[in-house]
Amino acid sequence: MNTTFKTLLAAACITIAATSLAVAEHSETGDKPHYCVKGHHQNLPHAGVHGFGQPHFLHGIALTAEQEDKLFALHHAEVPKIRAQMKQRQQLNQALRELSQATPFDEAKANTIADKLATLERESAFNRARTESKVLAVLTLEQREQAIKNKAQFGKHDEMHQPTGFRGRSHQRPDIRS
């Protein structure tokens, strides 16, 4: 019994030491969980907003104070619309979930809800495109070109992070040839 206790104590000490070493290495390298874990972007955070009211494709572009104010006002005006659409999307999805669990499935009602969701998605896509156009209109020609390059680069980043198929193999659709 005394040997078992010593063995368990030794195993616990080794586990604690290994965990401490891993934590120390993690903090030494400066790895941050919100950064790209694939390693092909040094310190570029995942796509999203890099400054308040700035889309990811403006990252690294020096903006004037006037441009920043215009972009802030533009995005500030969009927030209530986006929030309302999000709430409506949640309500419609909840209604569709509840309808799918009902004993007599009402196809007509489900179709109506699905149509509303499709309309909402179309409006959201249109609003995003319109807002992006307004953002690009605030930029100078050089800034616009850089923003478009950034957008293309982030598009490649998104492609690299697409889900894979079974056991990590890329999932190829038979109807699409590259």
Instruction: Write out pLDDT tens, residues 88-133.
Output: 999 999 999 999 998 889 999 999 999 999 999 999 999 999 999 9
User: Is 99:110 a contact under the CB 8 Å cutoff?
Assistant: yes
Instruction: Write out pLDDT tens, residues 8-38.
Output: 666 665 767 666 655 555 544 454 444 444 4
- Among 47, 78, 77, 60, CA closest to 157: 47
Q: Residue 11 and residue 17: Cα distance in Å, rounded? A: 10
Residue 60 DSSP one-character state? T
pLDDT at residue 178 is higher than 60: no
DSSP reduced 3-state for 92: helix
User: Is 100:118 a contact under the CB 8 Å cutoff?
Assistant: no
Instruction: Write out pLDDT tens, residues 86-97.
Output: 999 999 999 999
Amino acid in position 21: L
Cβ neighbours of 86 (radius 10 Å)? 12
